[in-house]
C-alpha cells in the first residue's frame, strides 16, 4: 500500500543530510563540551560554530541563542521565566486564545500562582486584532506572547505590528515561532521580538532539540539549575548531536524557503480546489491566500467526525491530523477553531493537512483520489445529520 505523510506540522522525517551531520557526535565526537581536554574542546568548537550559524540565520548575536530540548521548553522559559524574573514590574501577561498548549499551560500555571493572564480573542479567520492588544495592555503588563504561525490553521499573525504595541507600552514580546522558523524568512529584528521559540523536528531536524532567542537585556529567570551551561540559563550537559541537527536543519530549510513556499502554494490550491469542487459542504478554516502558510490546510467536512476520516485515511495509508498532535485522541473540538467561532459540531469534522519538504505531486494525487469516496461513505453512515 502507498504511504503518504501529510502531517508535517506534527513532526517531519529527519533529513538525510541532518542525520549525516549528527552521526559523528554519537560516535567519535563524544567528548563533553565542558571538558578542557581535546575531546571536549573539539565538541565545544562545534557548539560555538552551531550557535554562530543559528544566530546569523535569525539575525542576532550568538550570545542571545540558548539551546533547549524543544519548543515546549523554550515556551515555558519565555512565559514562566520572564514572569518570575519581573515580578517587581507587574503581574500581568497577555497571550492569545489560539496558542499551542506549551504557552497556554504555562500561562495557566502563572494564573494559578498570583499572575493575571488575558487571552486575546481572534476573528473568524484566526487573526488577533492589534486594537484588542492595545486595549488589554496596561501598567503592570510584563509580557505579551503571540504565536507567529498557528500549528492547526497556518494563520500568520502580524508579529511586527503586535510587538511594536507591546514595546511602546514597556512590555516584553515573545513569539512562538515553532511553525515558522525555517519555513518563512524571519529575523528577530524584523519581527521586533525580545524572545522567540523554535524547534528542530518541525523542519526535518531531530526531536528533543530547540532553541530560544532572548534579546540581550531581557530579564528571564532560568528554569533549570545546575552547571553554567548555556550562559547559566539552562543547566545540563548539552544535547550536542541534537544541537548540530537543529543547526543543519535550520541551515537547509532557510536555504530553500522561496522554492518550498512556491511548492506549498501549488499543493494547497490544487488540493483545496479539487476537494471543494468534488465534495459538497467543505469549509476552509482560515484565509484562502494571504495570511496563511500554504503548507497547512485546515478543512471541515460538515457532517462527519474528523477522527473517523483520519482512521479511514490511515487504513488507506494516508496520515493527516485533527486539531494539534498534542490534543488528538481527545474528543474535545479544537480550541483554535472554537476561538475562531466555529461551532463545536463543525470543528469536530475538521482535518489538518500539512505538507513538508518530502511531499510530492503523487502524494497529492493519491490523497485526492482517496478522500472523496471516504467522505461520501462516512456521511452516509454519520449520526450527525446536518450537512449544511
Ligand atoms: C506552535 C507550536 N509550539 C510549540 C510546540 C512544541 O514544540 P516541541 O514539540 O518541540 O516541544 C509545537 C509542536 O507541536 C507547536 O506546533
Each residue's pLDDT tens digit, 250-295: 999 999 999 999 999 999 999 999 999 999 999 999 999 899 999 9
Q: What is the predicted pLDDT for the residue at 42? A: 97
Instruction: Identify the band that residue 1 occupies on the pLDDT scale cut at 50, 70 and 90.
Output: confident
Which class is 4-12+257-381 in CATH?
A: alpha beta
Least confident span in 72-86, 163-177, 338-352: 338-352
Q: What is the predicted pLDDT for the residue at 322? A: 83
3-state helix, strand, coil in the chain (%, to 5): 45, 15, 40
Q: What is the predicted pLDDT for the residue at 272? A: 97
Q: What is the pLDDT of residues 2-34, one digit of tens each?
A: 999 999 999 999 999 999 999 999 999 999 999
Nearest CA to 195 out of 95, 336, 327, 91 is that of 95
The secondary structure of residue 7, as a DSSP letter, is: B
What integer is the mean pLDDT of 74-85? 98
Q: Where does the chain hold its CATH 3.40.640.10 domain(s)?
A: 16-254
Whether residue 188 is predicted with pLDDT greater than 90 in this model: the reply is: yes
Q: What is the predicted pLDDT for the residue at 384? A: 58
Strand pairing category for 172-176 and 210-214: unpaired
Q: What is the pLDDT of residues 312-322, one digit of tens each?
A: 999 999 999 98
Q: Where does the chain hold its CATH 3.90.1150.10 domain(s)?
A: 4-12+257-381
Cell 497571550: give the residue: 95
Q: What is the predicted pLDDT for the residue at 323? A: 61
Q: What is the predicted pLDDT for the residue at 345? A: 83
Least confident span in 203-212, 296-305, 376-385: 376-385
CB 6 within 8 A of CB 368: no
The burial class, CB within 10 Å (0-12 / 13-18 / 19+), for 386 is: exposed
At a CB cut-off of 8 Å and minimum separation 6, what does 387 contact? Answer: 280, 281, 302, 303, 379
CA of 202 to the centre of ligand 1 (A): 8
Decide: pTM greater than 0.85: yes
Q: What is the predicted pLDDT for the residue at 348? A: 86
**Which residue's C-alpha comes closest to atom 7 of ligand 1?**
71
**Which residue's C-alpha comes closest to atom 16 of ligand 1?**
151
Higher pLDDT: 367 or 345? It is 367
326 is catalytic: yes
- In short, whether 178's Cβ falls inside 6 Å of ligand 1 is yes
- In short, whether 179's Cβ falls inside 6 Å of ligand 1 is yes
Whether residue 385 is predicted with pLDDT greater than 70 in this model: the reply is: no
CA of 98 to the centre of ligand 1 (A): 13
Cell 450527525: give the residue: 384
Instruction: Identify the band that residue 325 occupies on the pLDDT scale cut at 50, 70 and 90.
Output: very low
- In short, whether 118's Cβ falls inside 6 Å of ligand 1 is no
Q: What is the predicted pLDDT for the residue at 330? A: 56
Instruction: Identify the band that residue 388 occupies on the pLDDT scale cut at 50, 70 and 90.
Output: very low
Torsion sign, CA atoms 372, 375, 378, 379 = negative
Q: Could you give the count of Cα atoms lying within 13 Å of 99 in the half-sphere of its Cβ?
A: 29
Angle between helices 361-381 and 257-278 (to 10 degrees): 30
Domain 16-254, architecture per CATH? 3-Layer(aba) Sandwich (3.40)
Average pLDDT, the chain: 95
Torsion sign, CA atoms 241, 243, 246, 251 = negative
Cell triple for 317: 495509508
**Which residue's C-alpha comes closest to atom 8 of ligand 1?**
71
Instruction: Identify the band that residue 387 occupies on the pLDDT scale cut at 50, 70 and 90.
Output: very low
Ligand 1 atom at minimal distance to the Cα of residue 72: 11
Amino acid at each position: 500500500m502507498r504511504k503518504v505523510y501529510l502531517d508535517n506540522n506534527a513532526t517531519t522525517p529527519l533529513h538525510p543530510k541532518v542525520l549525516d551531520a549528527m552521526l559523528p557526535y554519537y560516535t567519535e565526537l563524544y567528548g563533553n563540551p565542558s571538558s578542557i581536554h581535546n575531546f571536549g574542546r573539539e565538541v565545544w568548537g562545534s557548539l560555538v560554530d552551531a550557535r554562530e550559524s543559528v544566530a546569523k540565520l535569525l539575525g542576532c548575536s550568538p550570545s542571545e541563542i540558548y539551546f533547549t530540548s524543544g519548543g515546549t521548553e523554550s515556551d515555558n522559559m519565555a512565559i514562566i521565566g520572564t514572569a518570575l524574573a519581573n515580578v517587581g514590574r507587574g503581574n500581568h501577561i497577555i497571550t492569545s486564545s489560539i496558542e499551542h498548549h506549551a504557552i497556554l499551560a504555562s500561562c495557566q500555571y502563572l494564573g494559578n500562582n498570583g499572575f493575571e493572564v488575558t487571552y486575546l480573542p481572534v476573528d473568524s479567520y484566526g487573526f488577533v486584532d492589534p486594537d484588542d492588544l492595545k486595549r488589554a495592555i496596561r501598567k503592570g503588563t510584563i509580557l505579551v506572547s503571540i504565536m507567529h504561525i498557528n500549528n492547526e490553521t497556518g494563520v500568520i499573525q502580524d508579529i511586527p505590528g503586535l510587538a511594536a504595541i507591546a514595546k511602546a507600552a514597556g512590555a516584553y514580546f515573545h513569539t512562538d515561532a515553532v511553525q515558522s522558523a525555517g519555513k518563512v524568512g524571519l529575523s528577530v529584528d524584523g519581527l521586533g521580538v525580545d524572545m522567540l521559540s523554535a524547534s528542530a523536528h518541525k523542519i526535518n531536524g531531530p526531536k528533543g532539540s530547540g532553541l530560544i532567542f532572548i534579546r540581550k537585556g531581557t530579564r528571564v529567570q532560568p528554569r533549570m539549575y545546575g552547571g553554567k551551561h548555556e550562559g547559566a540559563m539552562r543547566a545540563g550537559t548539552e544535547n550536542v548531536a541534537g544541537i548540530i541537527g537543529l543547526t543543519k536543519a535550520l541551515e537547509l530549510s532557510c536555504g530553500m524557503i522561496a522554492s518550498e513556499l512556491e511548492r506549498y502554494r501549488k499543493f494547497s490550491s490544487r488540493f483545496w480546489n479539487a476537494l471543494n469542487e468534488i465534495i459538497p459542504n467543505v469549509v476552509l478554516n482560515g484565509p484562502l491566500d494571504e495570511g496563511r502558510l500554504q503548507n497547512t490546510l485546515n478543512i471541515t467536512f460538515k457532517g462527519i467526525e474528523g477522527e473517523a476520516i483520519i482512521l479511514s485515511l490511515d487504513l488507506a495509508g494516508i496520515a493527516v491530523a485533527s486539531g494539534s498532535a498534542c490534543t488528538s485522541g481527545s474528543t474535545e473540538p479544537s480550541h483554535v477553531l472554537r476561538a475562531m467561532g466555529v461551532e463545536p459540531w463543525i470543528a469536530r469534522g475538521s482535518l489538518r493537512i500539512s505538507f513538508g519538504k518530502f511531499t510530492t505531486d503523487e502524494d497529492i494525487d493519491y490523497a485526492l483520489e482517496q478522500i472523496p469516496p471516504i467522505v461520501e461513505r462516512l456521511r452516509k453512515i454519520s449520526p450527525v445529520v446536518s450537512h449544511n
